[in-house]
Structure 1
Amino acid sequence: MTPRVLVLPGWLGSGPDHWQSRWEVLYGDQRVEQHDWETPRRGDWMARLEEVLLQDNRPALLVAHSLGCILTAAWAAHSQNTARVLGALLVAPGDTEDPDLGPQLPSWAPIVRQPLPFSSILVGSRNDPYCRFDKARELATTWGSRFVDLGERGHINAESGLGDWRAGRDLLDELILKA
């Protein structure tokens, strides 16, 4: 059975030039649409992910960016349906515990820190304005994720100039092969 790919954008969603949006067009990945992209509530986003996951019996791969990474960890700690997930590609986690970012996302701290019950790869950038490199590496260790250093690519979003980000898709393919 071919797994489906669920795209989990971060705060404010992913615009048309973001690699996640491009993957939806190129590969038919399915975005988990949230009810409120501007004022995200952790419980609401977790419930929405659960709802979308249960709409289809096929196994899923999660492709999370920024707040979507924090969502993945929170959801995995509470869901009884984690066996439906084959793996997760976690890109540029947003540090909701940072004193500058946290107040804008009050229901997202503390970040859930327990190993994910599925394979995962976390991709971090050395100059991400929303998460220090050492914090991204620490989250990878905490979640049991393989860590990939992408160098200086900012927040690994549309402004990072990645286009279709084929190298990212190769990482996702690696997760598929492990499953």
Structure 2
Amino acid sequence: MTHSGEFTIVIVPGLRGHVEDHWQTILAAGIPGTRTVAPSNDGSLRLDERLAALDETLATVPGRAILVAHSAGVLTSVHWAQGHPNTERIAGALLATPPNFDTPLPAGYPSPDTLAELGWTPTPRGPLPFPSIVAGSLDDPLADYADVTRLADSWGSRLVNLGEVGHLNPASGYGEWPAAVELINELISAAAPVGP
């Protein structure tokens, strides 16, 4: 993997937080210096607490960060980026399988009303202030691919069609996701230099 002291990978997990056999966990274990945003200990799903946790993690990162977000972690990252005055330390973001929290989700997930009460909706639609790649699935149970395409377009992200990979989580058979490294390397290669 292309890596230098200039960049730190920051893992932004989804609603369920740390999952042992998730590709984000495997990725973090394989890249020295990676930081993972830890949700609150009480399992709260409040967006403001997720934003505070991301802020706290980024405050510990030397150099610049590459965000690697999955599912609700994508929405955490986008809310943070569009509401934060200090985004220049973010060199880029890999945004994998963003969910559509504006429509009903499968059984076992919070309702749209609950997600609204927790602060997740509406989903920000403005352009992101750093390079980004949205990786979308054609058969994601949490978002229609057409919705993901519209999100990527509104954020100014490059859209990568992953094919039929479900929600890109252990329930969908992932596990390891080697393409993540390639996409992270693309973001690192494209990162604009800072300063003179």
In the other structure, the counterpart of 1:133 is 145
Coordinate RMSD, CA, aligned:
1.5
Residues 142-161 of structure 1: matches in 2 within 5 Å? 142-161=154-173
Letter in 1 for 2:188: I
Off by >3 Å, runs of 4+ in structure 1: 36-39
Task: Return 18-27 or 29-38, whichever deviates more.
Answer: 29-38
User: Contact 1:5–1:30 at 8 Å: present in 2 too?
Assistant: yes
User: Contact 1:76–1:116 at 8 Å: present in 2 too?
Assistant: yes
> 1: distance between equivalents of 2:68 and 2:42?
17
Residues 25-174 of structure 1: matches in 2 within 5 Å? 25-28=29-32, 29-35=34-40, 38-100=43-105, 101-106=111-116, 107-174=119-186
In the other structure, the counterpart of 1:2 is 6
> 2: distance between equivalents of 1:89 and 1:14?
18
> 2: distance between equivalents of 1:161 and 1:58?
34
> Could you tell me how far 1:36 is from its partner in structure 2?
5.2
Which has a greater percent of helix?
1
> 2: distance between equivalents of 1:103 and 1:7?
27
In the other structure, the counterpart of 2:189 is 177
Which ranges in structure 1 are unaligned for 5 or more consecutive residues?
none
User: Contact 1:89–1:122 at 8 Å: present in 2 too?
Assistant: yes
What is the TM-score with the length of structure 1 in the denominator?
0.94
What is the TM-score with the length of structure 2 in the denominator?
0.86
Task: Return 163-172 or 133-142, whichever deviates more.
Answer: 163-172
> Could you tell me how far 1:81 is from its partner in structure 2?
1.6
Which ranges in structure 2 are unaligned for 5 or more consecutive residues?
106-110, 192-196
> Could you tell me how far 1:34 is from its partner in structure 2?
1.2
Aligned residues: 179
SS in structure 2 at match of 1:134:
helix
Larger Rg: 2
Q: Percent identity?
A: 38
User: Contact 1:50–1:79 at 8 Å: present in 2 too?
Assistant: no
User: Contact 2:36–2:57 at 8 Å: present in 1 too?
Assistant: no
